[in-house]
Structure 1
């Protein structure tokens, strides 16, 4: 099922007013949800694998990649720079590197992995590479990436969207200090291309704690899988030695952060949801969802088939989400329907994501009758009876899925732009509806 969102319009007619509402009525149920939901591959792993493969010495094979707006933007950008990406009938991608070249343009959309991972690679292209994106992209922190590249020898015009990297086919590289307290992607972006810099790269973090450290572990793991020499033994310091990268041959894990709202659906309805192929070991931050839901009263077990979450009731939680900030909208939605207050801490950096997620969650949950207060680094949530209303997404896919989760237990919630989930999970609406109202 494909849904298309259009700007709401009204036309005054002589005898009547016609109103068009393109919002999505979130399915609700009074019953316990019981379902098995297969989610596609990880966006974070897919986009990292694409970039490493584009710099490798030979053709890579990537099975089960995510096809979403973010991964399409990454693949399109790499193709424009000279990489060949062929798709087999079974969905496998075969990526063949080519000489990186400009002039070309990169559409970042609203994808942090594109706007922060590709500029370092663009310095290795022969010719200029212009970057632009969605209107909201200009609000996302980016100066750390651009200034770091300048310190490493790159020439860049502009300090935010749009900007241009003047590629010369090489970058000196070396050591650089960065403040990555707003996003771990500042570090990952430099590391991913670092082996191709003449002196490699040494990235030292200076500032408050880096959020989402598991994502840097993911980056390091992929680089090592490609044969890169990476030293991360010193806290807040990462070294990538100069050298060639071997082609990848890998399967992409299911996206565990995209799976989180489905597992949470079991928790809030007292049901049971299974996500197949849940990995036993992973660097994905989304794996933390099972322990967080368990802290709120749910139970989970993993078998060869997958991970299953069951629940008979939920309590509030006091949890530090600093390393797993992407789960905050899901946990906030669950907390708004739990028994007892919750404190979500360590996520001040979410104010610089696709939208200011803390302000957005406060505004939208309170707009449905909830009681959410922002703190310096998170949210304090006191459950109250919620009522029907419109849930605004702010072009943020995680906000959209949080609205769907609340709508599961609050009839009459309308999500204003469910199509924004195409960023990482294009079939979300269909999967969600099938979970709530399975075909008979």
Structure 2
């Protein structure tokens, strides 16, 4: 358990690691490419290691070098795999690699932690089956473990429900160039988290594959293609930047996250707009974005496209005057934890009124007090609620090591906010 001390916070500039979402997608795309890919500023974390280890099992050759990773693409070829592929609680790995396995040879079983076995994936399995792929939930409950029979994928048309996760669509998009007939994808519900779809399309474009699309309803990709190898730089993670922008918001100090731009395709960079609407001063600089806190006011905001930022926003809202309504966040229930329940429970411990109303999270700001924070083995709960401890004494974080999932150096960077 880690105790957070309010201490003396200073105006600070911090750096955050490469984007987790970009790293997952770039690794998988590079493994499918036609040759040697060099990847710079990749995120080395627990979730990414699950993707790396899985790609090794599929037969990929990946070298760690001082300045990045080198991935030797096999033009869509991969090895059979006799042993189950264990993915822990990395939802991105599970969803993207389930599609990836469809291009393989023979039977693949993808499994994970107990929590992973509660996270739904049936909508993706249904779409793969429409494409002629044998893809089933082994426990017949719509959740992992899943069995996929890899073979040549015909392609054609697929209909996908993305009301739970846009990663179902991203998985189909990434394998589409390797289908025989190409793929036309119709989105029947949703999608949530739209910026992550844009991210996937952007990565495909960087690797030489273009996607024809009609907004977020229809996507078409020609078959018989191969991703082009090259050198790629992962941009800093906007979700991780959010913790430090929130630190500026609640302490009144200016916190700058370097290396990140408002032009990023990461949807979470728009968190600075949310903070600005609450009263913060946001400064766009050539080498980063700064947020300085002020008197905070509650807001009404749709966070359906920024679900990973919701726990962080909830903590900021607890210090704001009035009510904050965070809309369209019911899909938080199937994240690494049931984040909707977790956020409400931990804010209540801190003396803050928080409740769910249909798809919304409603928080009445006040004067939070210290509490022992359960993290539910959820990295984002640990990092979000640590921010509260910068302002109020008595915040203690259980199982603080869970940040290894996405930001192993978080506590070291967090310490950099304090005056020495």
TM-score of the aligned structures, taking structure 2 as reference length: 0.95
Q: Tell me if 1:295 matches 2:277.
A: yes
1:414 to 379, 392, 396: 396
Q: Tell me if 1:372 matches 2:354.
A: yes
Q: Tell me if 1:93 matches 2:74.
A: no
Q: Deviations over 1:45-64 (max 9, x none)?
A: 01100011111111111111
State the aligned residue count. 412
SS in 2 for 1:191: helix
Any unmatched runs of 5+ in structure 2?
none
Show the counterpart of 2:134.
155
Does the 8 Å CA contact 1:371/1:381 hold for their aligned counterparts?
yes
Pair 1:395–1:434, CA change in 2 (3 A): same
Pair 1:280–1:328, CA change in 2 (3 A): closer
Does the 8 Å CA contact 2:14/2:416 hold for their aligned counterparts?
no
Return the alpha-carbon distance in structure 1 between the equivalents of residues 17 and 5 of structure 2.
Answer: 22
The Cα of 1:305 is off from its aligned counterpart by 2.4
Q: Tell me if 1:117 matches 2:100.
A: no
2:323 to 326, 341, 344: 341
Show the counterpart of 2:163.
181
Matches within 5 A, 1:119-158: 119-157=98-136, 158=138
The alignment's C-alpha RMSD in Å is: 1.4
SS in 1 for 2:158: strand
Show the counterpart of 1:166.
149
Q: Deviations over 1:122-169 (max 9, x none)?
A: 11112322211111111112111122112211123424222221223x
Show the counterpart of 2:297.
315
1:230 to 211, 220, 229: 211
- Which segment drifts farther, 323-332 or 195-204? 195-204
SS in 1 for 2:390: helix
Any unmatched runs of 5+ in structure 1?
1-22
Return the alpha-carbon distance in structure 2 between the equivalents of residues 240 and 68 of structure 1.
Answer: 31
Does the 8 Å CA contact 1:57/1:97 hold for their aligned counterparts?
yes
Does the 8 Å CA contact 2:348/2:354 hold for their aligned counterparts?
yes
Does the 8 Å CA contact 1:358/1:378 hold for their aligned counterparts?
no
Q: Tell me if 1:271 matches 2:253.
A: yes
Does the 8 Å CA contact 2:73/2:229 hold for their aligned counterparts?
no
Return the alpha-carbon distance in structure 1 between the equivalents of residues 180 and 287 of structure 2.
Answer: 46
The Cα of 1:32 is off from its aligned counterpart by 4.5
SS in 2 for 1:322: coil
Return the alpha-carbon distance in structure 1 between the equivalents of residues 204 and 362 of structure 2.
Answer: 39
The Cα of 1:108 is off from its aligned counterpart by 1.5
Return the alpha-carbon distance in structure 1 between the equivalents of residues 191 and 372 of structure 2.
Answer: 35
Q: Deviations over 1:56-83 (max 9, x none)?
A: 1111111110111111111111111111
Does the 8 Å CA contact 2:321/2:366 hold for their aligned counterparts?
no
Does the 8 Å CA contact 1:35/1:273 hold for their aligned counterparts?
yes
The Cα of 1:330 is off from its aligned counterpart by 0.5
Return the alpha-carbon distance in structure 2 between the equivalents of residues 259 and 279 of structure 1.
Answer: 11
The Cα of 1:273 is off from its aligned counterpart by 0.6
Q: Tell me if 1:210 matches 2:218.
A: no
- Which segment drifts farther, 327-336 or 367-376? 367-376
Show the counterpart of 2:364.
382
Pair 1:141–1:160, CA change in 2 (3 A): closer
Return the alpha-carbon distance in structure 1 between the equivalents of residues 368 and 259 of structure 2.
Answer: 35
Return the alpha-carbon distance in structure 1 between the equivalents of residues 324 and 70 of structure 2.
Answer: 46
Matches within 5 A, 1:21-100: 23-29=1-7, 31-90=8-67, 92-98=68-74, 99-100=77-78
Aligned structure 1 segments of 4 or more residues deviating by more than 4 angstroms: none
TM-score of the aligned structures, taking structure 1 as reference length: 0.91
The Cα of 1:234 is off from its aligned counterpart by 5.0
Pair 1:162–1:204, CA change in 2 (3 A): same
Pair 1:151–1:345, CA change in 2 (3 A): same
Q: Deviations over 1:306-343 (max 9, x none)?
A: 11111222111111111111110000000001122211
